[in-house]
Amino acid sequence: MKGIMKPITVMGSAAFLGVMLAIGLGLVPFFYLADPTVFEDWFATYFVFLLPAVFITSVPAFVGSITLMRRSPKGSQERRKWRNTLLGLISVYAITTAVHLPLNIAFWSRDLSDEAIITNLGFWTAAHVLRIAGGGFAAYSAFQASQLTKQPLE
């Protein structure tokens, strides 16, 4: 198990970034181009199918970053990089909890006016850019950590 944790964490972080990019670059343009009612119907029906990809990529990265951080020597550069991976993932989870979860529930309710849909979609998109940044930071930090040996800083 010891030798597999780094690749799982790096691949999970990178795959999670890929999911965030796919949502941002693939779906957000559709969200803006579709009529608000069409968007709301699509979102309420299909967005839930993206959740398994989020969980299957982010959970191994999250668990792996915690495990590898704890296994790394205190004060080491490797430990800092695994901590940064964890912080990147936590930032995405925090943004998701504070912004996306309430907005997703509002979209799923199908009770919003067209104006409210457009306004909320703007907030949703702006926050998603931050999630992409957090996912990118996590993936980059995981890759950097995987390249280091367990030597304390001088």
Question: What residues are paired with 76 via a beta bridge?
Answer: 152
Percent of the chain with pLDDT over 70: 95
Residue 148's pLDDT is 84
- Convert the pLDDT of each residue in 103-154 to its tens digit: 999 999 999 999 999 999 999 999 999 999 999 999 999 999 999 865 554 5
- Convert the pLDDT of each residue in 27-76 to its tens digit: 999 999 999 999 999 999 999 999 999 999 999 999 999 999 999 999 99
Query: How far is 16 from 60, CA to CA, in rounded Å?
Result: 10
Average pLDDT value over all residues in the chain: 93
In 3D, which of 42, 17, 25, 26 has the Cα closest to residue 107?
42
Q: What is the pTM of this model?
A: 0.91
> What one-character DSSP code corresponds to residue 2?
T
Cβ within 8 Å of residue 7, ≥6 positions away: 146
Residue 1's pLDDT is 59
Residue 149's pLDDT is 63
Residue 83's pLDDT is 97
The pair of three-digit structure tokens given for residue 87, joined into one six-digit string: 């912080």
Query: How far is 115 from 121, CA to CA, in rounded Å?
Result: 10
Cβ within 8 Å of residue 93, ≥6 positions away: 58
Domain boundaries, the chain: 5-146
Residue 128's pLDDT is 98
Residues in the chain: 154
149: left (phi > 0), else alpha (psi -120 to 50), else beta?
beta
